[in-house]
Amino acid sequence: MPEPIVPQKFGPPMGMYSHGMIAGDLVIVAGQVGLGADGRVPGDDVGSQTKQALDNVRTVVEAAGCTMRDLVRLQTFLTRAEDIPGFMKARQEVFPAYFPDRIYPPNTLLVVDRLVRPELLVEIEAMAVRPRKAKAKTARKRPPARRRRR
């Protein structure tokens, strides 16, 4: 049964969804936008919103017992094609800290008409594979099986 991920520093989601789900070995992160934990947009530029969205992804994957190095997929939505260079620059600034071995997850980049709020410029979804130690920490203990009498 999938388990919802509820990061302590986040408030409730903006709609009827979870910030993320653990499904076996997979961690699926809902699209994270450039909103801080206080609900504010850090700036009106794609660079600051990209950095915040990636930090939000990090918060969700860490709440699931993973790190950014456990990511196996990113999917990014931008609202303006002209923001691609600013998005790439923001990634270049933060990725060395997230991925010190310079092995980056695949990323699909899409340009869309708009996001849930008009001031939002970027949204990033992610998928990670949980390391064995994370699975052990969050695994639920099952009661011992009952023996059948003959």
- Reading the block at residue 79, the tokens are 């609202």
| Per-residue model confidence (pLDDT) at position 117 | 92
Residue ranges of domains in the chain, CATH in brackets: 3-138 (3.30.1330.40)
Classify strands 20-23 and 3-5 as parallel, antiparallel or unpaired.
Answer: antiparallel
pLDDT along the chain (150 residues), means of 10: 89 84 96 91 96 97 96 98 98 97 97 95 98 62 49
Give me the pLDDT at residue 26, please: 97
Q: Do the beta carbons of residue 86 and residue 36 sit within 8 Å?
A: no
Q: Kindly report the pTM of this predicted structure.
A: 0.86
What is the reported pLDDT for 15? 81
One-letter-per-residue 3-state SS of 23-35? ECCEEEEEEEECC
Residue 125 CA, chain-centre distance (Å), reads 6
Type of residue at 82:
E
Q: Which of 122, 45, 42, 107 is nearest to 73 (CA)?
A: 107
Beta-sheet pairing, 122-129 with 71-78: antiparallel
pLDDT of residue 68: 97
